[in-house]
Amino acid sequence: MIIVMKAGAAKKDRDEVLKRIRELGYKPHVIHGTTRDVIGAVGDERGKLVLQSLESMHGVESVVPILQPYKLASKEVKREQSVIRVTDDVSVGGSQIVVMAGPCSVESEEQIIETALAVRDAGAHMLRGGAYKPRTSPYSFQGLEEEGLRLLSKAREVSGLPFVTEVVNPETVELVAEYADMLQIGARNAQNFALLKKVGQLRKPVLLKRGMSMTIQEFLMSAEYVMSEGNQAVVLCERGIRTFETATRNTLDLSAIPVLKQKTHLPVIADPSHGTGNYHYVAAMAYAAVAAGADGLMIEVHSDPEHASSDGPQSLKPSKFALLMERLKLFAAASDRTL
């Protein structure tokens, strides 16, 4: 159920409603709107009629059932687009298209700093890079772990770019959160519910990638796991799904972007690098994603992709990334957005 507070309702009225929701055995989540607050009451569906009694409380405008299984992520709870603040200078979901760029894996201090400076100079807003890497093969490079986090922090210090990096298990979430500006949940962990709950208990922005075989509803239910723990700062990422097609690594589902925009208030970005697995197609899919309504892009960039420890074939060289960013301005302008 959602409890819609009256415009201008006093804080003491809202606090009384929150207290009563807890007394009824539900967990309240406050969503701040532009003109009024909405409170999501999450709990046992069988007792939701009890919540109707809140309609008589001072400051309450209405009590409305949420029809979608994903409650807090639904547009029924919040009509306007959420804007997720990463730092004072970077927010995802506003009029600006946010570009996150960098290598798949942090390999050395020289590599990550060189790449950070290159993507910053080309116009990127955030650095991406993996310190912990879940790989299909146990023999593949798994990342530099905490040393990789320290190198990402140094690259942030040198370049001024905040960074997003992946968390792979609940045990290392708090360690990664000490360093990172944004936590990424990768496709392989998109239904790792223990991990989703753990990042939901923190107050760090979360970038949630769609699992390679997930439906859109399953994707939104994964976001719900994070949000139900109290963390509303979730950004969704379409990164391609597994189909019968073999010409690309995955099938980048660009239709998911407008569908998600219709169903959720959360920002949506696209990852054309993982979505195609081939650097030849990255720019075209980046432009198409912006045209489809994406709030941002995640793009892999490596100064020497031929010798990259992971995902070299889908990584752009800095010069190609700079060209992509220059052309992207035209697509942003055509979509009434800025870059």
Q: Residue 337 corresponds to which amino acid?
A: R
pLDDT of residue 139: 54
Rg (CA), the chain: 21
The tens digit of pLDDT for each residue in 153-188 reads 999 999 999 999 999 999 999 999 999 999 999 999
The tens digit of pLDDT for each residue in 247-298 reads 999 999 999 999 999 999 999 999 999 999 999 999 999 999 999 999 999 9
pLDDT of residue 45: 66
Rounded-to-integer distance, Cα 321 and Cα 233, Å: 28
Rounded-to-integer distance, Cα 39 and Cα 37, Å: 7
- Between residues 236 and 141, the one the model is more confident about: 236
- Between residues 141 and 109, the one the model is more confident about: 109
Token pair 């405008």 is at which residue? Answer: 61
Which among 288, 269, 265, 285 has a CA at the least distance from the CA of 277? Answer: 285
CB 268 within 8 Å of CB 236: yes
Instruction: Write phi, then psi, for 158 (nearest 5 degrees).
Output: -75, -40
pLDDT of residue 141: 62
| 137: pLDDT strictly greater than 80 | no
Domain with CATH 3.30.70.1140 in the chain: 2-64
For residues 37-54, average pLDDT: 77
Cα–Cα distances (Å) from 77 to 10, 56, 102, in that order, read 20, 20, 35
- The neighbour count for residue 217, using CB atoms within 10 Å, is 12
Burial class, 234, CB count within 10 angstroms (exposed 0-12 / middle 13-18 / buried 19+): buried
The two tokens of residue 223 are 């976001």
Which among 77, 67, 119, 79 has a CA at the least distance from the CA of 98? Answer: 119
Domain with CATH 3.20.20.70 in the chain: 84-334
The two tokens of residue 177 are 């959160």
- Between residues 303 and 120, the one the model is more confident about: 120
Rounded-to-integer distance, Cα 51 and Cα 58, Å: 14
Q: Which CATH class is domain 84-334?
A: alpha beta
The two tokens of residue 50 are 């009890």
- Between residues 313 and 242, the one the model is more confident about: 242
For residues 71-81, average pLDDT: 88
pLDDT of residue 282: 97
Query: Residue 5 — pLDDT band, cuts 50, 70, 90?
Result: confident
The tens digit of pLDDT for each residue in 78-117 reads 888 999 999 999 999 999 999 999 999 999 999 999 999 9
Range 2-64: architecture per CATH? 2-Layer Sandwich (3.30)
